[in-house]
Amino acid sequence: MQDKQITIAVGLIVNERGEILLAKRHQPENPQIHGKWEFPGGGIEIGEDPEAALLREIKEETGLEAKIVRLLPKVYSNLWDWPEEKLHVIILSYECGAVGGVLDSSDEEIGELRYFKIEDIDYANTLPKTKEIIDLLNT
Protein backbone atom coordinates (compact mmCIF):
# COMPACT_ATOMS: atom_id res chain seq x y z
CA MET A 1 0.00 0.00 0.00
CA GLN A 2 1.27 3.43 -0.95
CA ASP A 3 0.86 6.56 1.21
CA LYS A 4 -0.05 9.86 -0.46
CA GLN A 5 -0.85 13.37 0.76
CA ILE A 6 -2.81 16.00 -1.17
CA THR A 7 -4.08 19.49 -0.37
CA ILE A 8 -7.51 20.59 -1.50
CA ALA A 9 -9.35 23.91 -1.40
CA VAL A 10 -13.10 23.94 -0.83
CA GLY A 11 -15.60 26.77 -1.08
CA LEU A 12 -18.57 27.43 1.16
CA ILE A 13 -20.70 29.29 -1.38
CA VAL A 14 -23.36 31.14 0.56
CA ASN A 15 -26.34 32.62 -1.28
CA GLU A 16 -28.40 35.70 -0.38
CA ARG A 17 -30.70 33.53 1.82
CA GLY A 18 -27.77 32.22 3.86
CA GLU A 19 -27.94 28.76 2.26
CA ILE A 20 -24.79 26.78 1.46
CA LEU A 21 -24.16 25.06 -1.86
CA LEU A 22 -23.29 21.37 -1.61
CA ALA A 23 -22.36 18.93 -4.35
CA LYS A 24 -23.37 15.26 -4.27
CA ARG A 25 -20.36 13.10 -5.11
CA HIS A 26 -20.89 10.67 -8.02
CA GLN A 27 -18.19 8.02 -7.90
CA PRO A 28 -19.86 4.59 -7.83
CA GLU A 29 -16.46 2.90 -7.95
CA ASN A 30 -15.68 4.44 -4.56
CA PRO A 31 -18.43 3.55 -2.06
CA GLN A 32 -16.82 5.50 0.82
CA ILE A 33 -17.63 8.81 -0.86
CA HIS A 34 -20.25 7.97 -3.51
CA GLY A 35 -23.56 9.74 -2.86
CA LYS A 36 -22.12 11.93 -0.08
CA TRP A 37 -22.57 15.69 -0.04
CA GLU A 38 -19.48 17.90 -0.03
CA PHE A 39 -18.36 21.45 -0.73
CA PRO A 40 -17.34 22.35 -4.29
CA GLY A 41 -13.58 22.39 -4.68
CA GLY A 42 -10.70 20.09 -5.31
CA GLY A 43 -7.02 19.45 -5.58
CA ILE A 44 -4.39 22.14 -5.82
CA GLU A 45 -2.04 21.36 -8.69
CA ILE A 46 1.74 21.65 -8.35
CA GLY A 47 2.68 25.35 -8.41
CA GLU A 48 -0.96 26.50 -8.38
CA ASP A 49 -2.13 29.20 -6.00
CA PRO A 50 -4.77 27.73 -3.60
CA GLU A 51 -7.27 30.51 -4.32
CA ALA A 52 -6.83 30.15 -8.09
CA ALA A 53 -7.30 26.38 -7.72
CA LEU A 54 -10.51 26.92 -5.75
CA LEU A 55 -12.01 29.32 -8.30
CA ARG A 56 -11.08 26.93 -11.12
CA GLU A 57 -12.61 23.92 -9.34
CA ILE A 58 -15.81 25.82 -8.47
CA LYS A 59 -16.23 26.79 -12.12
CA GLU A 60 -15.56 23.22 -13.33
CA GLU A 61 -17.87 21.56 -10.78
CA THR A 62 -20.73 24.06 -10.56
CA GLY A 63 -20.63 26.38 -13.58
CA LEU A 64 -20.48 29.35 -11.21
CA GLU A 65 -18.03 32.22 -11.14
CA ALA A 66 -17.16 32.83 -7.50
CA LYS A 67 -15.44 35.42 -5.37
CA ILE A 68 -13.53 34.55 -2.25
CA VAL A 69 -14.66 36.39 0.87
CA ARG A 70 -12.09 34.94 3.27
CA LEU A 71 -9.99 31.97 4.24
CA LEU A 72 -11.67 30.22 7.17
CA PRO A 73 -9.50 30.06 10.31
CA LYS A 74 -8.80 26.32 10.66
CA VAL A 75 -7.16 23.70 8.48
CA TYR A 76 -8.64 20.20 8.67
CA SER A 77 -7.53 16.86 7.33
CA ASN A 78 -9.07 13.48 6.59
CA LEU A 79 -7.34 10.13 6.34
CA TRP A 80 -8.72 7.63 3.82
CA ASP A 81 -7.76 3.98 3.48
CA TRP A 82 -8.33 3.16 -0.18
CA PRO A 83 -7.59 -0.36 -1.49
CA GLU A 84 -4.42 0.76 -3.29
CA GLU A 85 -3.24 3.64 -1.06
CA LYS A 86 -3.62 5.50 2.19
CA LEU A 87 -4.60 9.08 1.38
CA HIS A 88 -4.10 12.03 3.73
CA VAL A 89 -6.18 15.02 2.55
CA ILE A 90 -5.39 18.51 3.89
CA ILE A 91 -8.42 20.84 3.57
CA LEU A 92 -8.25 24.63 3.13
CA SER A 93 -11.75 26.13 3.43
CA TYR A 94 -12.92 29.46 2.06
CA GLU A 95 -16.13 31.44 2.47
CA CYS A 96 -17.28 32.42 -1.03
CA GLY A 97 -20.09 34.04 -2.95
CA ALA A 98 -21.33 33.44 -6.48
CA VAL A 99 -20.88 36.42 -8.80
CA GLY A 100 -21.90 34.93 -12.14
CA GLY A 101 -22.41 31.85 -14.23
CA VAL A 102 -25.26 29.35 -14.21
CA LEU A 103 -25.55 26.47 -11.74
CA ASP A 104 -24.70 23.35 -13.76
CA SER A 105 -23.90 19.86 -12.48
CA SER A 106 -22.51 18.44 -15.73
CA ASP A 107 -19.18 17.52 -14.10
CA GLU A 108 -18.92 13.71 -14.26
CA GLU A 109 -17.98 13.41 -10.57
CA ILE A 110 -20.94 15.52 -9.39
CA GLY A 111 -24.40 13.96 -9.35
CA GLU A 112 -26.36 16.93 -8.04
CA LEU A 113 -25.91 20.49 -6.77
CA ARG A 114 -28.22 21.99 -4.17
CA TYR A 115 -28.37 24.91 -1.74
CA PHE A 116 -29.19 23.87 1.83
CA LYS A 117 -30.30 25.77 4.89
CA ILE A 118 -27.70 24.94 7.51
CA GLU A 119 -30.29 23.36 9.81
CA ASP A 120 -31.48 21.05 6.99
CA ILE A 121 -28.11 19.43 6.24
CA ASP A 122 -28.02 15.72 7.04
CA TYR A 123 -24.43 15.42 8.25
CA ALA A 124 -24.63 11.62 8.21
CA ASN A 125 -24.68 11.94 4.40
CA THR A 126 -21.79 14.38 4.05
CA LEU A 127 -18.06 13.89 3.85
CA PRO A 128 -16.15 14.12 7.16
CA LYS A 129 -15.55 17.57 8.66
CA THR A 130 -18.51 19.20 6.86
CA LYS A 131 -20.20 20.37 10.07
CA GLU A 132 -16.93 21.55 11.61
CA ILE A 133 -16.11 23.60 8.51
CA ILE A 134 -19.61 25.13 8.35
CA ASP A 135 -19.30 26.10 12.02
CA LEU A 136 -16.26 28.21 11.06
CA LEU A 137 -18.57 30.64 9.25
CA ASN A 138 -19.50 32.05 12.67
CA THR A 139 -15.90 32.78 13.69
d(CA 8, CA 41): 7
Mean pLDDT of 60-79: 97
Phi, psi of 118, deg, nearest 5: -55, -40
Please check the confidence at residue 107 and state whether its pLDDT lies above 90: no
Query: Can you give the CATH number for the domain in which 55 is found?
Result: 3.90.79.10
So what's the pLDDT on residue 105?
83
pLDDT digits (tens, 9 = 90+) for 29-63: 888 899 999 999 999 999 999 999 999 999 999 99
- CA 86, CA 70: separation in Å to the nearest integer? 31
Model confidence, pTM: 0.95
The pLDDT assigned to 1 comes to: 65
Provide the domain count of the chain: 1
